[in-house]
């Protein structure tokens, strides 16, 4: 009745897994699945935890087209699932990791630190996928499957703070301009891709553009520390190229090949303008 694919996530959650098992085995499975247990996200990247397939309440609404989803910038919405990564998992019966609804007593007493740690590690893994060279970049659809907006939020705020710190006058305006430019810019760039007939998920693209700001963040910190104009120009050029390189595969894969340049040029333009902001601040 329950077939197990056991790839335990964390050592500490093994007892959770056992309790889930016990609960399921003790519950009498009638036809009414009023008993128990959460939906299985059918994503192949999720690590899996032993679970039985039958009694789950799968609640799937029809996919809401991205344009009608809430347009929020930036909305930190980390799906509370374990980070995708190198663990392979089979389709079919999976469940959410330690913080799933599977056994409310256990997951509700899950320390908040576990959830925080999981979200933090998701940010790190997303960052590595987007900004650093790795084999997954060839398949952009898979790479940012576990999008989250916390990373972009931190990077945008950090960039705004760095720019504001470097500015000797009008600090507040600098911060406000930087934040509004980046946030509005990300939204508009995403809309641009969507209007060009591209296939991209709204929040995934916001997330991507935010993560690609990481090199510019590094550049801004270096420029803040050293005030040499030549150095600033070199650093900004290098980080700009890095950012554009990071964003390229995802954006270009999303649109019709003939319209690649139309989609990519505005992204490049936005990063160039941020670069100018970094250079010009003194």
Partner 1 sequence: MDPNQMQAPVENYANPKTCLFHVLFKGAALAFYILSALFFNSFVIIFVVTVLLAALDFWVVKNVSGRILVGLRWWNEINDLGESVWKFESLDQDSLARMNKKDSWLFWWTLYLAAAAWFILGVFSLIRFQADFLLVVGVCLSLNAANIIGFTKCKKDAKKQFQQFATQTIASRFQSTVQSAFTLV
Least distance from C-beta 178 to partner 1, angstroms? 10
CB closer to partner 1 out of 40 and 243: 40
Burial string for 242-270 (b: 16+ CB within 10 Å, else e) reads bbbebbbbbbbbbbeeeebeebbeebbeb
Q: Which residues bind partner 1 (CB under 8 A)?
A: 30-36, 38-39, 41-44, 57, 59-61, 63-64, 66, 69-70, 72-81, 99, 101, 104, 107-108, 112, 115, 119, 141, 145, 147, 150, 153, 157, 160-161, 164, 171-172, 175-176, 179-180, 199, 201-204
d(C-alpha 18, C-alpha 8), whole Å: 11
On whether the CB atoms of residues 55 and 37 are closer than 8 A, the answer is yes
206/202 Cα distance (integer angstroms): 6
Taking the C-alpha atoms of residue 177 and residue 175, their distance in angstroms, rounded to an integer, is 5
**48 vs 164 by CB, closer to partner 1:** 164
CA 155 to chain centre: 12
Specify the residue, 3 or 199, whose C-beta has the smaller distance to partner 1: 199
Shortest Å, Cβ 169 to partner 1: 13
Euclidean distance between CA atoms 243 and 264, whole angstroms: 12
Q: How far is the CB of 247 from partner 1 (least distance, A)?
A: 18
| Cβ at position 35, least distance to partner 1 in Å | 6
> Which of 195, 185, 196 lies closest to 247 in space, CA to CA?
185
Choice between 47 and 235, CB closer to partner 1? 47
Q: Between 43 and 252, name the residue whose CB sits nearer to partner 1.
A: 43
Angle separating helix axes 112-131 and 150-166, nearest 10 degrees: 70
If 0-12 CB within 10 Å is exposed, 13-18 middle and 19+ buried, where does residue 139 land?
Answer: exposed
- Judged by DSSP in three states, 226 sits in coil
Q: How far is the CB of 218 from partner 1 (least distance, A)?
A: 20
Minimal distance, residue 236 CB to partner 1, in Å: 23
Of the two residues 73 and 93, which places its CB atom closer to partner 1 in the complex?
73
């Amino acid at each position: 009745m329950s077939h197990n694919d056991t790839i335990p996530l964390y050592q500490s959650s093994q007892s959770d897994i056992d309790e889930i098992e016990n609960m399921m085995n003790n519950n009498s499975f009638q036809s009414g699945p009023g008993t128990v247990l959460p939906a299985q996200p059918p994503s192949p990247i999720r690590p899996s935890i032993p679970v039985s397939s039958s009694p789950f309440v799968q609640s799937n609404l029809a996919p809401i087209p991205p344009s009608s989803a809430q347009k929020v910038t930036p909305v930190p919405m980390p799906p509370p699932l374990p980070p995708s990564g190198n663990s392979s998992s089979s389709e079919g019966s999976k469940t959410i990791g330690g913080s799933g609804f599977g056994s409310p007593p256990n997951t509700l007493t899950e320390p908040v630190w576990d959830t925080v740690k999981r979200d933090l590690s998701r940010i790190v893994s997303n960052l590595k996928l987007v900004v650093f060279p790795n084999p997954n970049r060839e398949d952009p659809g898979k790479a940012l499957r576990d999008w989250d907006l916390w990373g972009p939020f931190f990077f945008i705020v950090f960039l705004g703070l760095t720019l504001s710190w470097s500015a000797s006058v009008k600090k507040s305006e600098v911060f406000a301009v930087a934040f509004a430019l980046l946030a509005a810019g990300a939204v508009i760039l995403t809309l641009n891709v969507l209007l060009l007939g591209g296939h991209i998920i709204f929040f995934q693209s916001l997330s991507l553009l935010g993560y690609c700001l990481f090199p510019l963040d590094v550049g801004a910190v270096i420029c803040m520390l050293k005030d040499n104009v030549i150095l600033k120009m070199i650093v900004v050029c290098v980080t700009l190229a890095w950012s554009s390189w990071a964003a390229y595969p995802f954006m270009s894969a999303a649109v019709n090949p003939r319209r690649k340049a139309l989609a990519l040029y505005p992204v490049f333009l936005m990063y160039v303008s941020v670069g100018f902001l970094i250079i010009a601040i003194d």
